[in-house]
Structure 1
Amino acid sequence: MEMLTRALLLVVLLVGSVGPIKAADVTVSKPETVGLSSAKLAEMKAHFQTYIDENKLAGITTLIARRGKVVHFETYGDRDKEASSVMQKDTVFRIYSMTKPITGIAMMMLWEEGKFKLDDPVSKYLPSFRNQKVFRGALDGGKLDTAPVERDATIRDLMRHTAGLTYGYFGDTPVDRMYRNSDLYDQKNDLKTLVKKLGRMPLLYQPGEAWVYSLSVDVQGRLIEVLSGKSLDTFFNERIFTPLGMVDTGFQVRQDQVSRFSAVYGLNKETGLTALKPGEGLLSDFKKKPTFLSGGGGLLSTTADYWRFAQMVANGGTFDGVRYVKASTVEMMRKDQLPKKLGGIAGGKAGLGFGLDFAVVNDVAKNGGATRKGEYFWGGYASTLFWIDPEEEVVAVLMTNFIPSRLYPLRNEMRQYVYDALEDAE
């Protein structure tokens, strides 16, 4: 795999560059050239530094671009406090669920090629999803009462989290407990095995009847393999990472990245900020290529790499003159795809809808006031975030290394500082 990646990268370099691309090699322009205030962004930098000074977070990076120009790229604190290794612009992070939009773009590449229709049943390509059952209630003895699906889950359902699947860790229904108690998350599973096991699980609800965050993007990862005939990592590398110059993004920490790989931290009630020990799954050290290539949460990346991806999306599917998907495809992905009867995520209480592997802002007031209508975004388990504002032409990336993701309000704080910094361009 590494030889293939190097070979592909060499081709790109020969035809389109004069030297190796480095993720941290991002030209930073003066904020005022695109209508942002340097003084306001300096206030944000000072505020984020307090998270470090107060030992709430180990390290952070922030990147802001407008109209295609990066105008702010800052680092704070440490990549690894215990090793006294300061945060760098090329630090490699676990991006967890920020993998999902990348999987979504990969899916839509195949959709543009006519490999599937959004309203095709998933079972057309993944036989284990045929004749699924839906949970109705618990019976005596721990058994579940189920009923046949009223309609098959579609690929659109997968991409908007309405397929009836769940994660098993955000709820405590009998179906959630079944997920947790099964071997779905056995790291020996590959995508093919995961999908087979998942297809035998009862759905939590009828397809299209609820929005529940789920393993559906990992199912998309398997669909990419089936539809393309390539492993998920190969498809990502060939079609997205290599041509975009995302040289530090992948499912594994290369040997040359080990010294740049961020530790991950949590909060211990007795000792405060504490490094979490490497283990399996979410806390893997990623030195070995995983068997389970998670399209829902398995990628590692850098701030600059992820900006290149997000800027490509914001540009309507192009970057540096190369088209990845059509502008109309991005337009569709960022529009709310949820059935009107659902009212949005959580019944519309948060003011959010869901497109195709992106959350979208429908109601700013309900969402707390820090976002803008039409913004689309997603975050990761270790408190990371990116968002795209098509109206203001803003792309922003926040990387950090702290679990859980909602303990501190830095995501909305960054949004507020960015929008407070907007002013007329020179």
Structure 2
Amino acid sequence: MAFFSETKVAQQREDLPSSPAISFEKAYSEAIEKKILPGYALIAGDKDGNILYSKADGVASLKEESKNHFELDTICWLASMTKLLTSVACLQAVEAGIVDLDKPVSDVLPEVGKYGIMTDFDDEKNEGVFKQHKTPITLRHLLSHTSGYEYDWFSPLLAKWRQSRGELPWTGPTVEDKSTLPLLFEPGTSFRYSGGYDWAGKLIERITGNTLEQFMKEKIFDPLGVKDITFYPNDRLDMEDRLATVSTLSETGEPPVIDAATFDPLFGGKDCLGGGGAYGSANDYFKFLHAVVRRDSKLLKPESYDELFKPQLDEQCKKAFNDYLRSSPAHAQYLGMSLPGELEKTWSFAGLICEQGQQGRMSDGTYFWGGVPSMTWYMDMKAGICGVAFCQVLPPMCPNVVHLHEGFQKAMLEKHANAD
């Protein structure tokens, strides 16, 4: 997470050959040969339950002692792909009447908003300049990135504040350590990508007295028959030989890819981090994603699915979101999902919504999100298909790797259209 300030924006992506249905498999194979990608797993399917494509190739780790192939049941760090799980869990808690989307969370989470808004930093005094926020922070704010928070590894202002306290960004074992931060704007008035989902998971934990993993196991994993998603893979003997490790290209995304031996994905985290702490296999994450696309009643009621997929940003916050994505090459790389910058986006509890379609790739209103080690998922509701692309490669959301996943998405749209 501190990698935002420690790495450079990766190099521009290389264009794929023009015929996606023919070329995407070749592109992945060439990426392995060129040492851009150690291994990957891909799965796509339609809303009727048909699998359009399913394949894994390469290796799960570049550690010298590892001989494991990358398989569909290889366990990967999901990073921010955890957020969709947390959104579903929160809406299940809303259905159960134990939380409310629009009530202040401060009664249960007094740490949230405790510092108020940091408007500036006084370098001479080596301290922040603060004012009190007026709008109570709600679960809706936390899940829509409109709470006033921003990840401290994204914010130079918060980095100064951390440094003034002798702290590093996003470190420590608990959500409280990582995410008890000053706000940067009045809640509900802008958009910044934040640890709100970590707080949302902590809200469930404090109310229920169970861990977020226990809640998800009862409400999500067991109903769907999902066994390979967890926040604690090192405690699972059945995952010991299937756990992938993170690899890295150069800071600018150039090969050869090498083992990222010192990289700790959770930066000392021990809590169930609802914003990025889960691990899982492509097989079981796809099983979950597929259930969401089908609006499976095992997970949510119809009105809760409506809330999950609904755009959550008003015009002011939507403009702030699009301005945020366009504010720097780094923001476009980390959060832009390799989508053209001119296409308007908004945010739902499910993830980013690309409002306009793109010929040969997606329908308008397609949902996207991913995770730091260049992982992605998408849900094209109008076409009725969805897919996941798993790998474990830094720099975060490396364009050359994410572009491979774009080719996969294009090929699946073509294959689905030809099948019809």
Provide, for residues 171-228 of structure 1, a one-character-per-residue CA deviation record: whole Å limited to 9, x for no partner: 31x2243246536744333x4x448x71xx3211111122111111100010111232
1:255 aligned residue (216, 231, 237): 237
The residue identity in structure 1 corresponding to 2:355 is N
Q: Shift of the alpha carbon at 1:102?
A: 0.2
Tell whether the 8 Å contact from 2:171 to 2:267 is kept in structure 1 after alignment.
no
| Greater shift in the superposed pair: 269-278 or 243-252 | 269-278
Provide, for residues 5-43 of structure 1, a one-character-per-residue CA deviation record: whole Å limited to 9, x for no partner: xxxxxxxxxxxxxxxxxxxxxxxxxxxxxxxxxx96453
Tell whether the 8 Å contact from 1:118 to 1:155 is kept in structure 2 after alignment.
yes
Residue 395, structure 1, aligned to residue 386, structure 2: yes
1:101 is aligned to 84
Tell whether the 8 Å contact from 1:133 to 1:146 is kept in structure 2 after alignment.
yes
Residue 380, structure 1, aligned to residue 375, structure 2: no
2:322 is aligned to 346
Tell whether the 8 Å contact from 1:316 to 1:331 is kept in structure 2 after alignment.
no
SS where residue 417 of structure 2 aligns?
A: coil
Tell whether the 8 Å contact from 2:35 to 2:255 is kept in structure 1 after alignment.
no
C-alpha change, 1:369 and 1:145, in structure 2 (3 Å) is: farther
| Greater shift in the superposed pair: 119-128 or 40-49 | 40-49
Tell whether the 8 Å contact from 2:87 to 2:350 is kept in structure 1 after alignment.
yes
Residue 58, structure 1, aligned to residue 43, structure 2: no
SS where residue 127 of structure 1 aligns?
A: coil
1:49 aligned residue (22, 25, 29): 29
1:228 is aligned to 208
The residue identity in structure 2 corresponding to 1:158 is L
Q: Shift of the alpha carbon at 1:79?
A: 1.2
2:105 aligned residue (113, 122, 146): 122
The residue identity in structure 2 corresponding to 1:341 is Q
Q: Shift of the alpha carbon at 1:293?
A: 1.5
CA distance in 2, matches of 1:264, 1:125: 36
Tell whether the 8 Å contact from 2:231 to 2:277 is kept in structure 1 after alignment.
yes
Q: CA RMSD in A?
A: 2.5
1:332 aligned residue (294, 307, 315): 307
Q: Shift of the alpha carbon at 1:130?
A: 5.9
CA distance in 1, matches of 2:155, 2:106: 26
Unaligned ranges ≥5, structure 1 = 1-38, 285-289
1:24 is aligned to none
The residue identity in structure 1 corresponding to 2:136 is D
Residue 303, structure 1, aligned to residue 282, structure 2: yes
Unaligned ranges ≥5, structure 2 = 1-18, 327-340
The residue identity in structure 2 corresponding to 1:346 is N
SS where residue 420 of structure 1 aligns?
A: helix
| Greater shift in the superposed pair: 273-282 or 92-101 | 273-282
TM-score, normalised relative to structure 2 = 0.81
Residue 70, structure 1, aligned to residue 64, structure 2: no
Within 5 Å, which residues of 2 pair with 1:108-147? 108-129=91-112, 132-139=115-122, 140-147=124-131
CA distance in 2, matches of 1:342, 1:364: 21
CA distance in 1, matches of 2:131, 2:267: 37
CA distance in 1, matches of 2:248, 2:266: 13
TM-score, normalised relative to structure 1 = 0.80
Tell whether the 8 Å contact from 2:102 to 2:139 is kept in structure 1 after alignment.
yes
Provide, for residues 125-158 of structure 1, a one-character-per-residue CA deviation record: whole Å limited to 9, x for no partner: 2123366511222223222221111211221110
2:139 is aligned to 155
2:261 aligned residue (277, 280, 286): 277
CA distance in 2, matches of 1:364, 1:68: 24
CA distance in 1, matches of 2:224, 2:80: 20
CA distance in 1, matches of 2:113, 2:264: 31
CA distance in 1, matches of 2:113, 2:67: 53
Residue 188, structure 1, aligned to residue 182, structure 2: no
CA distance in 2, matches of 1:259, 1:337: 41
Residue 294, structure 1, aligned to residue 283, structure 2: no
CA distance in 2, matches of 1:120, 1:131: 17
CA distance in 2, matches of 1:291, 1:53: 36
1:406 is aligned to 398
